[in-house]
Structure 1
């Protein structure tokens, strides 16, 4: 068989690489809801929401997700990335203040830069550094005789960080938010459906209240809900303001009705089957347990360490020590796992200097995503395959890792 034929042949692999945490993308209920919507409305939505683009399916998902999140209202965007970037830019303008975690992913950082606000960064998940920044801004206000209410001020964080698999320490962040009189913009795109007893996200995980502890919350529909699009939830003023100022809402074509209908079907499944969230969280615990059980092999033979939070369905592994060959090692592990029937993701790193929207350089890593559909046998196979592949690949670079 030629190399080209080898590349083209169909592979059946265990999927540990997408963000379909609850397995809704393959749900018969979503297929049926999407088919019914296509038959009723057709595919397109004709234009932006304010110009012949609003259909009852859009209003339905806005109403149902706002009720589920215990907020006054919700606003639907046609894709998850523009939800984050448009929401931030709608509220923060030139002269306002954004205090942003350095670990935020690109859609959030894009919104930060589009806002033209005064941006202050704090080290990832470092509450002490966050307070340092807030104190410095407070001292500047005092020096200039500026009242805190003279600017709109926001702290921007992710509930669950896509690139790092870490979870924001919301209790401490929210305490500082109230102490220094800031508003919180919280992205729940990856924590929604994965954290909290009923999957409501990081706020539920930390027993915090929407609209009070986090005034503005953005949620992508493309992960746990298995659809396309995104929503921002909050009080009436937060939502109404975006209907006039959210660029992705005002100028982009609205979401096709069938994607909104699919999101409604997913949300109803999530509400009626909370055991799906519990199953996902059980799978997450089992995955980390298996990795910890083989910790000696991973650390000493494969030279990998887990750097993500043990509650995160996004499992991140990095090299124990820096190496000039990190990117090659991660890519090699991914290819070897794929050859053995397991699909994972290798990030070869991203230099902040080469991107106008990322604050910090991302280290090369292996990323595994856990799903509610995985069985223990699936997880066992994945972990064993990962370890065997990592040992094989890193052995080629052993002299460079000592």
Structure 2
């Protein structure tokens, strides 16, 4: 009884305290209303009424709609005049003046010239079979898909092209991209991430540089085609890995090179690279935009040129804008390597797919390459002929190997200023253009290039150029060099 009495007493005490507290608070509220200014009370009352109104009012009001008759709809359609997509321009506007490329001829400012500027190595750009296939695809599929491959951008021609490229390159699988530049620039960051290490030739092209930047990996540049310098770096890295084996186990290491370098026109020493790959346990990425459709008995690139097993290369990439007379690019290799890009290759996942017309053109170009492998022998012969003819021009030095289809002519002696060197070479190009020989300066984004190449004139070789064309071009370059470089 005593304990129950204590509990009852405790609860009565607590209730007394609670009522006391409530009374105090009520008195404070009454006191507030009694002494508060009138405008405060009016304002608070208005706010309370506004909140109540918001809580119980509808979010929108339905308005009566007026349905148009069919005649009224037709009248409105007749009256509507769409705004022009672009402002009106005159017929002589610079944008309407463009160069027309037809095979090994190019029309510049209304003047037909011999084309030594366009990357059309196999002459398929103006091939009738390729054009007819592209036209038939255009009529069947339309211009494009306007969607990425992973959504609604995949057509049967895309799958056929990937299958044909894998078969041509003798690899398990291939993947196509809609833009050549984005191919290797997307492939590198798909595999190499922050904390990984990439060993790169310092002459690597700009698309490789963008891929390296996107990967955010640790980049180590070795001297161009210098395998001793590369092995020195690999040994140093091996010693670092031995100090921290736990970190080394999760760090991926890559070597990124070009098969045929666009900036130097020479070939990578692939057999030595493969030896270093297995010795130091690194992966090789090979960019073959300049060597695909050029090197090798069947145009398969630098692996066929050296007789290297293609399975020794972890990833091969190339664009289809040089030899295949199309647009876009592709990567090929083992299935598990290629499949990874379908979810990680940014250019594949987020870009609209390759227009079916261009995929059909690339398929027909591959048909021609497979049916007529002699075309690669003809191209190599033309390259050797042009390489020999361009040697010994006074004031100019030739850069590149004899099997390269895009050679460089540089000044023997620099003026000491890059701008002055560029102006001298530009004058030579303009001199040749006046005499119906189209050449081009090698262009670079000077502020973004990691190792800026020397100024040069690029001379591009194709199978369509005749001996007479080559003779006229070389004679014109010699005359220009004599006139400009006095």
2:478 alignment partner, one of 383, 387, 390: 387
The residue that corresponds to 1:378 in the other structure is 469
1:348 deviation in Å? 6.4
The residue that corresponds to 2:423 in the other structure is 328
1:194 deviation in Å? 0.8
Do the aligned partners of 1:349 and 1:365 also contact (CA within 8 Å) in 2?
no
Say if 1:349 and 1:30 are closer, same or farther in 2 by CA, change over 3 A: closer
Alignment pair present for 1:190 and 2:290: yes
1:303 deviation in Å? 1.1
1:174 deviation in Å? 1.5
Residue 335 of structure 1 aligns to a residue in which SS? helix
Alpha-carbon distance in 2 for matches of 1:18, 1:84:
21
TM-score (norm 1): 0.91
Correspondences of 1:282-301 after superposition (within 5 Å) = 282-292=381-391, 295=392, 298=393
Do the aligned partners of 1:183 and 1:215 also contact (CA within 8 Å) in 2?
yes
Alignment pair present for 1:37 and 2:137: yes
Say if 1:305 and 1:91 are closer, same or farther in 2 by CA, change over 3 A: same
Alignment pair present for 1:70 and 2:167: no
The residue that corresponds to 2:378 in the other structure is 279
Alignment pair present for 1:164 and 2:261: no
Do the aligned partners of 1:284 and 1:312 also contact (CA within 8 Å) in 2?
yes
The residue that corresponds to 2:45 in the other structure is none
1:173 deviation in Å? 1.5
Residue 174 of structure 2 aligns to a residue in which SS? strand
The residue that corresponds to 2:436 in the other structure is 341
Say if 1:11 and 1:268 are closer, same or farther in 2 by CA, change over 3 A: same
The residue that corresponds to 1:364 in the other structure is 455
Do the aligned partners of 1:347 and 1:366 also contact (CA within 8 Å) in 2?
yes
Alpha-carbon distance in 2 for matches of 1:283, 1:304:
21
Alpha-carbon distance in 1 for matches of 2:352, 2:382:
38
Do the aligned partners of 1:156 and 1:186 also contact (CA within 8 Å) in 2?
yes
1:232 alignment partner, one of 315, 328, 331: 331
TM-score (norm 2): 0.76
- 1:22-64 deviation per Cα after TM superposition (whole angstroms, max 9, x unaligned): 0011110111011000010001113000101100000011000
The residue that corresponds to 1:398 in the other structure is none
Alpha-carbon distance in 2 for matches of 1:57, 1:350:
35
- 1:97-145 deviation per Cα after TM superposition (whole angstroms, max 9, x unaligned): 1111111111111001100111111111111111111111111111223
Do the aligned partners of 1:196 and 1:202 also contact (CA within 8 Å) in 2?
yes
Residue 103 of structure 1 aligns to a residue in which SS? coil
Alignment pair present for 1:261 and 2:360: yes
The residue that corresponds to 1:100 in the other structure is 200
Do the aligned partners of 1:344 and 1:368 also contact (CA within 8 Å) in 2?
yes
Do the aligned partners of 1:93 and 1:117 also contact (CA within 8 Å) in 2?
yes
Do the aligned partners of 1:331 and 1:348 also contact (CA within 8 Å) in 2?
no
Do the aligned partners of 1:83 and 1:231 also contact (CA within 8 Å) in 2?
yes
Say if 1:349 and 1:70 are closer, same or farther in 2 by CA, change over 3 A: closer
Residue 31 of structure 1 aligns to a residue in which SS? helix
Say if 1:67 and 1:148 are closer, same or farther in 2 by CA, change over 3 A: farther
Alignment pair present for 1:305 and 2:397: yes
Do the aligned partners of 1:279 and 1:372 also contact (CA within 8 Å) in 2?
yes
In structure 2, the gaps of 5 or more residues are 1-93, 100-107
- 1:196-235 deviation per Cα after TM superposition (whole angstroms, max 9, x unaligned): 111110111111122x321100010111001001110011
The residue that corresponds to 2:220 in the other structure is 120
Alignment pair present for 1:181 and 2:281: yes
Q: CA RMSD in A?
A: 1.6
- 1:253-298 deviation per Cα after TM superposition (whole angstroms, max 9, x unaligned): 0011001000000011000011111111010111112223xx1xx1
Alpha-carbon distance in 1 for matches of 2:245, 2:339:
33
Alpha-carbon distance in 2 for matches of 1:146, 1:285:
51
Say if 1:58 and 1:178 are closer, same or farther in 2 by CA, change over 3 A: same
Residue 53 of structure 1 aligns to a residue in which SS? coil
The residue that corresponds to 2:318 in the other structure is 219
Alpha-carbon distance in 2 for matches of 1:234, 1:99:
20
1:148 deviation in Å? 4.8
Alpha-carbon distance in 2 for matches of 1:166, 1:150:
35
The residue that corresponds to 1:204 in the other structure is 304
Q: Which has the larger radius of gyration?
A: 2
Do the aligned partners of 1:215 and 1:234 also contact (CA within 8 Å) in 2?
yes
Alpha-carbon distance in 2 for matches of 1:196, 1:129:
28
The residue that corresponds to 1:252 in the other structure is 351
Residue 317 of structure 2 aligns to a residue in which SS? strand
| More deviation, 339-348/222-231 | 339-348
Alpha-carbon distance in 1 for matches of 2:245, 2:153:
47
In structure 1, the gaps of 5 or more residues are 396-402
